[in-house]
Homo-oligomer: A and B are copies of this chain.
Amino acid sequence: MAGRTVRAEQVSATRELILTAAERLFAERGVYAVSNRQVSEAAGQGNNAAVGYHFGTKTDLVRAIIRKHAARIEEIRARLLAAVGDSTDVRDWVDCLVRPVPEHLAALGSPTWYARFCAQVMTDPALRRLMAEESLSSPSLRQIVEGVRRCLPDMPDEVRVERGDMVRHLIVHVAAERERALAENTPTPRTSWRGAATGLVDAVVGMWLAPVTRGREIT
């Protein structure tokens, strides 16, 4: 039994090394550009087939990285959601939508790679579906999206979808750009993830509440 436990711990440590190496390489170079062999090497695995053995395909590996972070992001989201109650102020719901990722990144400490990893995954034609699947499986996220919807002024469904897509782009790419600036030590607005999240909440609330042009030539 003791031998089995040691073995299980070794496997767990190897998987963690692979996940960390892969997240970093994918973040810096793009998912498509990095081979499983390169990930195995960067994780210090003598066996170049280590990724395949522990995770399967590259898609499985990307999914494992997403899930590693998803549990903690979901915890933050559930906590914010519990605090918002039945608010009818759209800002409270936007807080729940926007703050979990920056708060998670702040908790990881510097440097992080997850924000750039997400930007790479979201820019990949095939892998972006993985991220959508994981998001759809979050019950708290569904409640938050519904909460935002209830607080919005009347607008065509098409515009609501369009603005929801824009919010998603901003959450992903603002965080990735800030993470890159921190990694490269170049200037970036705000001194904390918390401040950056506030800036994003302000902007997203303004965007959601913006008047909608109607009439000819706008479809």
Contact = CB atoms under 8 A, between A and B. Distances in A.
A158 B195 CA distance: 11
Interface stretch (A62-70, A75-83, A103-111, A200-208): A200-208
A198 interface: yes
A158 B202 contact: no
Contacts of A177: 165, 169
Interface residues of A, number: 51
Contacts of A180: 125
A212 B202 contact: yes
Contacts of A200: 166
Interface string A189-218: 111101110111111111111111100011
A170 interface: yes
A206 B195 contact: no
Contact of A206 (B28, B158, B184, B206): B206
A173 interface: yes
